[in-house]
Amino acid sequence: MNAIDAKYTALGRARSFLGQLTTSEQDCPDRIGHYSHCQGGSIYWSPQTDACEVHGAIREKYADLGWERSFLGYPVTDESVTADGSGRYNRFQGGSIYWSPQTGAYEVRGAIREKYVALRGERSFPRHPVTEVMGTLGPARFS
């Protein structure tokens, strides 16, 4: 059993939130990792990461950004509940995607993500992200 099959089995296979598989295991376009899509999400694996699931609005944002070919790379966690219990997140090789019902899904990366985590993320005054990481007219970035 490969890592994607093992993850799918551990999550409960078709009885889980992922539902039925809609693809067999496929090579990712970057030719490094593999994925399987399901009715309710996807499972990704690469040699540098374990098999991790991505679903819901976070999966939609991941797809919009270009999946593993984006700056995010591969997921390194399953979707999890935020520490304050009011949202969800996935961590990726190059950043995170946070979601809450009030804000939707937004990516946070680089020094901005480091500061957000250092400030205790959604448990601190910034709460949940409300924008993507964006650039200014100069070299700065903000979220």
Break the chain into its structural domains and give their ranges: 3-135
Three-state secondary structure call for residue 35:
strand
3-state secondary structure of 75: strand
Query: What is the C-alpha end-to-end distance of the chain, expressed in Å?
Result: 41
Joined tokens for residue 113: 């993500």
- pTM score, whole prediction: 0.84
Burial-class residue 55 by CB neighbours within 10 Å (0-12, 13-18, 19+).
buried
pLDDT tens per residue across span 3-35: 999 999 999 999 999 999 999 999 999 999 999
Q: For residue 115, what are the contacts with CB-CB under 8 A and spacing of at least 6?
A: none
